[in-house]
Structure 1
Amino acid sequence: MQWNYLFKHWSATLLLPLLLTKILHNESIELLAIGFLFGFVFSLPTYAFYALIFKSLQEETISISLKKIILIGISVFGICVTFALMSGDLKGVFTYDVFIYIISSLITGIFFRLGKKSKTKL
């Protein structure tokens, strides 16, 4: 398993929803860096746990697909918990913006390659 999967999934899960919500709400993208910084800080606990599970899954013999399901599930759960804590109740989880974060995490988690690249002999 490649560690760059974790970083690609994390950064794409933070950036893609920010861009989409700015476009959908017809907002300026000038505050994108600040939004990314806040998203980074708020997502640190989730991705610290994600990294621990990622490390332990490297030694497991389960399929790459199952590993992806576990990691994406952690990411989605972390998104829900983070937004619930920020809003103070579970209603904060059921918003359009949170839905965009969840869908982005699902799509990018599936899209990025988790397994090692196969080496071809010449």
Structure 2
Amino acid sequence: MNWSYLFKHWFGTLIISPFVYELFNLMKVNSNRVIGLVEIYPITFIFSLIFSIPTYIIYGFIYYFLARNEVSIMKSKIILLLFTVLSILLTFHIVFNARELTISISYAVTSIILGIYFKLNFKESK
């Protein structure tokens, strides 16, 4: 089984999302933040990695189930993206109590874009 989609999607989301968050903040007229996620990027990455582990463990089980049952690539991507976005929103709601909506949206948008962009192939290429 080819697990590269899972890891590209996971780490791509973790690496790019802080920059998307900064872009969202640039578009705000009254941004009164003191420090952004990019300024503390290593800490942001480590905390994002830690908080995303439960999501991606379950994601891995879903990925495995979809591959074993030969669900179509399109349906598999939709299921995986829906699960990821809902998990991101739930995690940020639990951790930040819905105070940081822009961060959760930036992670969700990044996850959707990367999930669509990366090629999903359950079988190993030879």
TM-score, length basis structure 2: 0.80
Residue 29 (structure 1) aligns with: 38
Q: CA RMSD in A?
A: 2.2
Q: Is the 8 A contact 1:19 1:32 kept in 2?
A: no
Question: 1:10 is aligned with what amino acid?
Answer: W
Measure how far apart 1:30 and its partner are: 4.4
| Equivalent position of 2:106 in the other structure | 100
Task: Say yes or no: does 1:54 pair with 2:63.
Answer: yes
Question: Which residue, out of 54, 59, 76, partners 2:85?
Answer: 76
Amino acid in structure 2 at the alignment position of 1:57: L
Contact residue 24 and residue 102 of structure 2 kept, 8 A: no
Helix, strand or coil: the match of 1:79?
helix
Note the alpha carbon deviations across 1:33-81, whole angstroms, 9 max, x for none. Answer: 1100000000111001000111111111221010011111111011011
Give the superposition deviation at 1:118.
Answer: 6.5
Structure 1 residues 58 and 108: CA distance shift in structure 2, 3 A: same
SS in 2 for 1:29: coil
Equivalent residue pairs, number: 116
Counterparts of 1:4-15 in structure 2, within 5 Å, are 4-15=4-15
| Identical pairs, percent | 36
CA contact (8 A) 2:21 2:37 kept: no
Unaligned 5+ runs, structure 1: none
Unpaired segments of 5 or more residues in structure 2? 27-35
Which residue identity does 1:109 align to in structure 2? G
Paired amino acid for 1:106: I
Question: TM-score scaled to structure 1, two decimals?
Answer: 0.82
Runs of 4+ in 1 over 3 A off after TM superposition: 22-30, 116-119
